[in-house]
Structure 1
């Protein structure tokens, strides 16, 4: 009987996609290509991609993004395999051969097209995209669309194109002929930014600059319960405030109305910041996820990575994504039907925020403390890429370690584009309780994979105070990391509830001031940081902001005319403290 029961569990796990113990951590760990554009690498060669689309097609997830000279596929959203492919013809002498691509499917056929204004790019098709099996569906796509998104309405068997990328023009929509795939009928303006009303649409790192008009881009449509959700990115890809909003309509070409809760995808704080210009997709269990762009913007404004966030629609049809603790270990699809709150979060906390670090050497101003400051824009670099360069992280106490993330920087990289082969990142991680006697915890000394954001979920939790990362070999550049992040649980107490949390909204004496709010609270001595939740309904606090080491925060992302509700919770290496009562700001 026991054997039958165990067999049923295994069958259910395979059938329904259960993998409760399998996790990932943003930025996702894929072999990002290096920027191929010469004038974008004057401050250093670096990895870069953005504008992602994921679709679940014939039992696998397919991931396309800007200028990677290929794409990835995966059966579990964890182990991504790259397929080299250039989606252009010999006469197209461009770097942007697949910039902000459209990826969609019709029945058993996957469709791909890149951005262009020339009206000469083809639409590519494949029924077996798990290999390099592509042919032209349309030789010259006459739309000439930048940031295109082809949407197939399977309920009506109709096709639509949504597109646009501008700080002047709106996003557009047009119907496509079902047989020729070319535009037919009127091109309709669908939405434009309104940053006078929507604070989060303002230009700037924190939606706080007015010297330049904000950009709208990245149109993408999801149909849910008979409604069309038109998603868009704003205000600019180089900012931590990069986000996705959504308008809703009963018809594919509108008119569209601004969703009451926006932006629905937003992550201005923490390690992996920015959650704009993305796409929403369903997994093997039909649960929703949102993939989007994560901002680095260190060596170039367009230095970026990718993040994946749990998403969904609530009972009132409100579209949301959950980015709270979104760059901490998160469960992969597991048959769970609830993404709101902390349902997808493992509860493994960051153990080494601002903790002591020892290193083998330091190159110039790339100091060791940057390894644990939870800022992806800063990084430490050793003087060399030699075997034996190392990092030692002191957790301060013996802790339970569940997972580790290594975020490599591109110091003195010498690669452009997508290399045909790489040597992989080779390293060993040791653990110790006294910093003297070391035992191997992770051995990747023979690794041949390119793992720029390597994430290791330990098969069995370890107990240690010290972790040592020893370099064996780098694929390019020096041994350099923006974050040596260790996750698990400390041995101490969680922080207590935050006291005296007050959201102060600006008075409406000056036009637009109500788009801003100033949070002030009493510092909780045991907290490493805080998560501030916000929304226009006390039961729908879907927005979140992660703040480290402060007791105040200026937020410039409100819609001017609406009341808001806020709450705050503290966290540290030992867990998450109690959430405050909800406060209203008129």
Structure 2
């Protein structure tokens, strides 16, 4: 068992003479900056997915698919890896639950493990064999102490549930079929990055149950983990084994665009203030269809019991809550994006990994230098002095050959800023860093006014110096964009799962966030796009009316839409 502690790293860095820039620890930015393990098979790529998060004695433990261990945090921002030989950490889709200060763990190998000290990495076997073979299992404990197992991973068979004996954790009673896919009417269940495939069956998987006010909310993930549209649908029941009915708000979690897309197959947990959070799977799928990352999104119950994960601006910096949040209005971006489509200069470029890719807000594209040698660099021109508060450096690991987790996996770099391209000031010095941070997010203790931001490579773990997103956050010097006008909404007459939106492009906006829902007072769903004037959303419930509004945003902030337009369901 190994624990990689930031405090130990701090001591090592001090003794080695590392220079420090003063950083805050108050905001975070998706994807979560974990030490994502390189997989054991080729091609060389990082991966983590299917998060199951539990709270234990005020701390958080995150269990992930095929990650060589699990993660611990005391603040939801900084995560340390715990390696253990006691758990099947190379299995897919683990589930964990805290019962009376004992954490129970289960994955696909059918055994249940237990630990009363998970930070130690020590686990015992509670149950050597459970049930028949299950896929994507999750264990739920009701308020009366009764326990249930939910599972399913198929394009054809249902999500199933069965009660467990609370002592032996063996199944008792009859297994119940709980839900199946219905892609004809439910657009979020259709395959493809944009839910365009109406022919092939979707994978239905990743069940999870949340209880609130005597109702059971059953999550399920569709349409496939490799798609940008990967999210969770939801059913509701008054009984843990059903019957379940489709929830009013669907999908529960959905993020098909932005720098990184996807919000599926995860778990719900509470923070220290009682806020609900959804930890879900986000997709990269460049080197391999299972190349994935983790995202964290707040979740809310409204006054009518509608449950939703809020993914609006879900890969922008957000402040860690310091108290109870009541709705998505309490969780808005802390800073705006300054680097979108800005001019870029580089030391060199490799093949089709061109320099513009590092500012196009797409994790699937990347800039790469010709080598990984010290001295390769990239510079962004913000076009005028801007108030810079935070940066996120997303490394792309181009041409790596790494398999597994060697001890020397880390990036070393120097970030400087200037207003004239001649005189440079150090902003972030990680030239002696020895901590793996593939999605390094840094909030400055004090903002700086700068126009040019340059990153210089000192070391990469392998391959070339490559970045999929060099993202600069803060505030511009101008005004927010005006209200978007001439929004039109047209439901597809042949397919009620599809709606087409069009609007007049705002010259001051860099992007738009469409908020929508099945009630004009419940616009909980979000679809964020850049630099366009039209959009087709294909994830609707064809049997429901929908309502839409559009917000405009730029470097200075967000202008909320005022008009809400109705799109009526198709009459069959």
What range describes the TM-score normalised by the shorter chain of this pair?
over 0.9
Distance in structure 2 (CA, Å) of the matches to 1:216 and 1:297: 19
SS of the aligned residue for 1:219 comes to: strand
- Structure 2 counterpart of 1:32: 36
Q: How does 1:427-442 map to 2 (within 5 A)?
A: 427-442=413-428
- Following superposition, the deviation at residue 446 of structure 1 comes to 1.1
- Following superposition, the deviation at residue 423 of structure 1 comes to 4.2
SS of the aligned residue for 1:499 comes to: coil
Distance in structure 2 (CA, Å) of the matches to 1:164 and 1:578: 40
Task: Report if the CA contact (8 A) 1:64-1:72 is conserved.
Answer: yes
Task: Report if the CA contact (8 A) 1:29-1:455 is conserved.
Answer: yes
Aligned length: 545
1:248 aligns with 2:236: yes
1:570 aligns with 2:552: yes
- Structure 1 counterpart of 2:82: 83
Task: Report if the CA contact (8 A) 2:87-2:113 is conserved.
Answer: no
* Counterpart pick for 1:345 among 327, 332, 336: 332
* Counterpart pick for 2:93 among 92, 100, 115: 100
Distance in structure 1 (CA, Å) of the matches to 2:157 and 2:41: 26
1:22 aligns with 2:23: no
Task: Report if the CA contact (8 A) 1:503-1:585 is conserved.
Answer: yes
- Following superposition, the deviation at residue 88 of structure 1 comes to 5.0
* Counterpart pick for 1:478 among 461, 464, 474: 464
Distance in structure 2 (CA, Å) of the matches to 1:88 and 1:143: 20
- Structure 2 counterpart of 1:501: 487
- Following superposition, the deviation at residue 36 of structure 1 comes to 2.1
* Counterpart pick for 1:186 among 162, 166, 174: 174
Task: Report if the CA contact (8 A) 1:283-1:333 is conserved.
Answer: no
- Structure 2 counterpart of 1:560: 542
- Structure 2 counterpart of 1:174: 162
SS of the aligned residue for 2:503 comes to: strand
- Following superposition, the deviation at residue 574 of structure 1 comes to 1.4
Distance in structure 2 (CA, Å) of the matches to 1:554 and 1:196: 17
- Structure 2 counterpart of 1:402: 389
Distance in structure 2 (CA, Å) of the matches to 1:202 and 1:317: 26
Q: How does 1:541-556 map to 2 (within 5 A)?
A: 541-556=523-538
- Structure 1 counterpart of 2:354: 367
Any unmatched runs of 5+ in structure 1?
Answer: 1-19, 90-95
Q: How does 1:111-130 map to 2 (within 5 A)?
A: 111-116=104-109, 121-130=110-119
Alpha-carbon spacing, 1:247–1:475, altered in 2? closer, same or farther (3 Å): same
- Following superposition, the deviation at residue 87 of structure 1 comes to 4.9
- Structure 2 counterpart of 1:14: none
Distance in structure 1 (CA, Å) of the matches to 2:445 and 2:332: 18
Range 245-254 or range 574-583, more displaced: 574-583
Distance in structure 2 (CA, Å) of the matches to 1:297 and 1:468: 28
Any unmatched runs of 5+ in structure 2?
Answer: 1-23
Task: Report if the CA contact (8 A) 2:181-2:204 is conserved.
Answer: yes
1:148 aligns with 2:141: no
Q: How does 1:199-238 map to 2 (within 5 A)?
A: 199-238=187-226
- Following superposition, the deviation at residue 476 of structure 1 comes to 2.1
1:528 aligns with 2:514: no
* Counterpart pick for 1:514 among 496, 512, 516: 496
Distance in structure 2 (CA, Å) of the matches to 1:334 and 1:346: 15
| TM-score normalised by L of structure 1 | 0.91
- Structure 2 counterpart of 1:305: 293
Task: Report if the CA contact (8 A) 1:284-1:333 is conserved.
Answer: no
Task: Tell me the alpha carbon deviations over residues 114-150 of structure 1, each in whole angstroms, 9 at most, x when there is no partner.
Answer: 124xxxx421110110111111111122342110001
Distance in structure 2 (CA, Å) of the matches to 1:461 and 1:97: 42
Task: Report if the CA contact (8 A) 2:412-2:459 is conserved.
Answer: yes
Distance in structure 2 (CA, Å) of the matches to 1:257 and 1:101: 26
- Following superposition, the deviation at residue 578 of structure 1 comes to 3.5
1:59 aligns with 2:53: no
1:452 aligns with 2:438: yes
Distance in structure 1 (CA, Å) of the matches to 2:383 and 2:114: 55
Alpha-carbon spacing, 1:468–1:126, altered in 2? closer, same or farther (3 Å): same
- Structure 1 counterpart of 2:122: 133
Task: Report if the CA contact (8 A) 1:62-1:73 is conserved.
Answer: yes
Task: Report if the CA contact (8 A) 1:245-1:264 is conserved.
Answer: yes
CA RMSD of aligned residues (A): 1.3
| TM-score normalised by L of structure 2 | 0.93
- Following superposition, the deviation at residue 322 of structure 1 comes to 1.0
Q: How does 1:309-348 map to 2 (within 5 A)?
A: 309-341=297-329, 343-348=330-335
SS of the aligned residue for 1:140 comes to: coil
Task: Tell me the alpha carbon deviations over residues 375-394 of structure 1, each in whole angstroms, 9 at most, x when there is no partner.
Answer: 11101111111111111011
